[in-house]
Structure 1
Amino acid sequence: MKRLSKQRMTRTLFWGLLVYTALSSTIAWSIQFGLIPIEPRRVQATDEQKAPVNNTKELAFAEQFTKEYFFWTLGKEESRKQRLQSFLISSIDSQAGLNMKTTKYNSYTQNINAWQVKDRGDGVKEVTVYAETILTNTTNQSDQKRVDRYLVVPIKQAGDSFRVVDFPYLIPPPVARDIAAKEPVTSGSPVSGEIANQAENFMQTFWKVYTNGEPQEIAYYFKNKQASAGLTSIQSFVSMDGLSVSQVDDTYIVNCDVTLEDVQTGVQLVSHYVFTLVKETDRWYVISMKQGEI
């Protein structure tokens, strides 16, 4: 009797395992071929994956307000009041806290740029706006001066736009820390005095043509022979200083400070350039030129 019971249990386990294997394989293949739809796995976005906040509207609103805030003409206070009305909540002073009774200057803005946005809480954002203002003495038109300001504008969403919800206030300009300039890193091995002189003579000729020649003439100095407009009619060559030459495989790396003169104004500008040159027989060519690498 016990033996029969064991045989039945063995058969039951065998057929149960067989049915389970068959069902598992069928489900797996159905999912593989899309016969059974499954919901895609959702991964919660990390801080790095979240889309950046778009502050375009806040910045535009704060810039428009700042333009009107710093624009006044003595005797026309009512005009300024009307211009500010659409920006301010009703409980704020109609002149946004600015009293013109003691000033002797009219004001307008020349340039305006939003600097930063900070959350103050309760849906209020503080937008810092840079404003280049021009002040003109009302009794002496020749007494005119430029004053740069940083204005913090507290704003809050109001329907499709915003409102200034508190008095704007001035802050000192941001102060940047000094950054120590890195010494130019010369890659490659030193070259002989003869090679250094040849490279310098080539560079002197190159700059004269690059600032005064036609595209076809300039192309003659490049390895790829592609025509380039260069700086003709833009800048003229003045001098080249601090030239150093090193060799990397079959090429030569040239670092130099170049002084160029603006054709329109006559002001001179100094820029650092890094050239990669190649010498073929008696001819030198420019493979690449990069500006500002120090």
Structure 2
Amino acid sequence: MRSHMKQKGMRFLFWGVILYTALSTTVVWLLQFQLIPSPSSSNPVQAEQQEQKPAINVSETAFAEQFTREYLFWTRGNEEARAERLKSFWKPKMDVQGGLSFDDAAWNSYTRNVDVWEVKERADGSSIKDLIVFAETVLTNVNNEQQQKRVDRYLAVAIRPAGETYIVVETPHFVPAPIATVTESVVTEEEVKKAVPDQIRLEVEKFVTSYWKVYTTGSPEEIGYFHKDNTPVEGLTGVVRFEKLENLKVYQNEEDIYDVEFDVRLTDLASEAELITHYTVHLIQEGDRWYLTQIREGEVDSK
């Protein structure tokens, strides 16, 4: 009797193992051919979030970081060496010094640490990406090597693919450090441009000059006063000094709506080096008041 029960138990165990193996194999094949949903895809929200997460392009960030190290490394009187180091980064016909002038620079600079903070791809199909790079720099007094100071900067760098590497397509420019309440503005495509009367041009020049004086010295609330939505804007107060506007061009695309292009000459307060940056802004006139509605740094080049 006991022997019979033992044999029956062994048969039950044998067929149980066979059945488990068959079921397991069947489930594996069904998953393989996606005939049943896998546990990882059972949560559609999680799956969608995984699909939307952008991939990190290591070569882009490495290029931008390497460029930033060279761009923020200079020694007054040794500009030719700096230009040679930067030569391979620029697109053709770019300024070899990237908009910086060191004739009156009081401090030399080198980079200690750099990290890409943000990467954005332009929606215009140009393949250009805008990277914000954080750089920890050390400045040394040109007349006293023992006098040094640390300056943290955020540099905007626009790049696009060029064969197996990349090139910088616009003059880099400093941007304010990121804050928790950043509001992005969207720049619309330019419409048909019309020349404006001299009186309008003078008013625009006065307004833009006043804006840049406040943008480099005022509080976010004072800067926001120039914007149509009156939203506080973080400026470059304590980072650069406004010198003057150059190459101002004013066009009218609609009644009381104007496109303005110009170069801004700034002085880096930490080093006294000069920086020239191109800007495009959209202005609107309401009565005797002017307001800024959109602003963009740099020049678009999708070629």
TM-score (norm 2): 0.42
Of structures 1 and 2, the one scoring higher in RCO (CA 8 A, sep 6+) is: 2
